[in-house]
Amino acid sequence: MTTFVWKKYIEVAEARSQVYGLLSALYMELPDLKWLGGIFDAGFQQSFPSIASDFQMAGIKEGLELIAGFVTEFKSKPREEVFKLVSIDRTRLLHGVGKKTSPPPPYESMYRDGRIWGKSTEEVARTCSHLGIKLSEECSEPPDYIGIEFDLMRLICSAEKEAWEAGSIDKAGKFLQVGSEFLSQHIMRWVPDFCEQMYRKAELDFYRGLSRLTRGFVEYDSRLVEQQIDNIKQKLGWEP
């Protein structure tokens, strides 16, 4: 039977999985009027307080406040007008339109190797293969695109949660270790840099907020997962 302590680990893994899923969707999904309607939907906005309560950190709080400010400023304006503004800002920020106005597009290999489909791309692809994860055939992005790397973390967190629910400390610990290694060897080596450039060059508070939320969360999570590993070693006697 799952103990109270294990329930805490389940809750943390679930919360981490949800945030990575949200971040992945925000980078992966192309905006349309339905997407925009979801941003202004009360349910979307209500998901933010739960994130803030689970993961307290200045960067996360600032990001959520910027996104909330965007919603307040634009919710009463014509959707077609707002959609155009969001689409232009997204294209400029995520597709490298120009060096002066855009950050390098959010592929790990662009930041670590100086080109798309570099060594970093191959490393992420091997990680996916090792974990038995197949990218959707509908996805045209390389595996080191920011939204895909976040979705990979979502799956790792979800697998950890399932291991806790099944009562397997060993499997849960191994997934924590995998997540920790992916964060340190991949995400933390380039995402903060991208987010800082995205913040400086964004025109809308929505994308400024997304940049702060993204950076704040991955920096927080990289420390949290190390704490989780130390905790299960000390309290539950887990050994890698």
Q: What is the pLDDT of residue 61?
A: 84
* Rounded Cα–Cα distance for residues 9 and 165 (Å): 10
Within 10 angstroms of residue 14's Cβ, the number of other Cβ atoms is 17
Q: What is the pLDDT of residue 134?
A: 77
Q: What is the pLDDT of residue 1?
A: 45
Q: What is the pLDDT of residue 228?
A: 93
DSSP string, 136-151: -TT--S-TTBHHHHHH
Q: What is the pLDDT of residue 138?
A: 67
Q: Bridge-partner residues for 145, per DSSP?
A: 107
| The pTM of the whole model exceeds 0.85 | yes
* Rounded Cα–Cα distance for residues 156 and 28 (Å): 18
Low-confidence ranges of the chain (pLDDT < 50): 1
* Rounded Cα–Cα distance for residues 226 and 236 (Å): 15
Residue 106 burial (C-beta neighbours within 10 Å; 0-12, 13-18, 19+): buried
Q: What is the pLDDT of residues 149-180, one digit of tens each?
A: 999 999 999 999 999 999 999 999 999 999 99
Please give the domain boundaries of the chain with CATH numbers for all domains.
4-236 (1.10.3480.10)
The answer to whether the CB of 199 falls within 8 A of the CB of 211 is yes
Residue 141 burial (C-beta neighbours within 10 Å; 0-12, 13-18, 19+): middle
Residue 42 structure tokens: 């009360």
Q: What is the pLDDT of residues 180-189, one digit of tens each?
A: 999 999 999 9
